[in-house]
Amino acid sequence: MKTVIVTGATSGIGFAVCEALLGAGCRVIGIGRTGERAAEALEKLRRSFPAADCTFYHGDLMLTSDVRRLAAELRRDLDERCGGRLDALVLNAGCVRSWYMTTPEGFEQQFALNHLSGFLLTSELLPHLTAGRGMVLITSSQSHKMMKVNWDDIFFQKRYRPLMAYKQSKLCNMLFARALNDRYADKGIRAYGIDPGLVHTEIGCKNTGGIVNFVWERRKKHGVDPSVPAQIYAGLITRETRPYGLYFGIRGEAPCSRQVTQENADRLFQLSEKLLNIEFGVQKEADTACLS
């Protein structure tokens, strides 16, 4: 039985991925932002899959302290129940913001949740992914093709443009997937960026307002049900052989942005390590690792 961790698992694409994986016979560990939402999602999944192996944890992934706490709980779970092996990590948690908003550590929130949280969680779980020759699937977007990394102002502090910050975070997802493959493919790890397409979810309506909320309320009506893109994730995780591509959508492998180069991937990887004050794959104590 394959063990898969899914972030952003209480609604939308993440919840649908959990359903698809449980239906395929996987053990699923879901991550939600609050205990209440995690409990509700778990109850709903157990009604549909009463015999399935499903567990939920909760934490605010924008906070590095919560990511490290969650990672410690996940490592214990994997050690006790899965022989220390993780078959797949689905980094699906994400957000959209209308205004410049930061985490307590000073990270712009879209960059923090859409990129840094997944970077840190993968780092914390790297030994278990290596043991399981695991996959990392990151929810990206076609919008990554319309962006370059704003290296001189990574958080858009000088002039905050919500859509540009979102597109950049999706490009960062692809660069992170590229960097993982460059560094860890020889250890059996394989990373992919996933384009779910336009999906009918609430991502553009959570903690937003103004033009972002206005546009998304109308745009989401044309999106597909989350169960449609969920099959991309489940298909990659459960297939017999792994493809060597990097970017996958509803129609299979697709070309990604020309910005997804080794140079840009290495630069983002090193910047992310510096921002988080980590050496990737090396675990630190949760109470001493956070930036002041």
Task: Give catalytic residue positions.
Answer: 166
Any residues with CB less than 8 A from the CB of 36 and at least 6 apart, and which?
none
Question: Residue type for 71, please?
Answer: A
State the pairing for strand pair 3-7/135-139.
unpaired
Q: Which residues of 153-162 are buried (b: 16+ CB within 10 A; e: fewer)?
A: ebbbeeebeb
By three-state DSSP, how is residue 145 classified? Answer: helix
Rg (CA), the chain: 18
Residue 129, token pair as written in the block: 């992914």
Pairing assessment for the beta strands 252-253 and 190-194 based on DSSP bridges:
unpaired
- In which residue are the tokens 């959990």 written? 18
- Token pair belonging to 91: 């980094």
Instruction: Give start and end residues of each alpha helix (H) in the chain.
Output: 12-23, 35-48, 64-81, 109-111, 117-124, 126-131, 162-184, 210-219, 227-238, 262-276, 286-289
Do the Cβ atoms of 18 and 54 come closer than 8 Å? yes
Q: How far apart are CA 86 and CA 83, in angstroms?
A: 9
Query: From the centroid of its chain, how far is CA 127?
Result: 18
Query: Quick one: how far is CA 154 from the chain centroid?
Result: 19
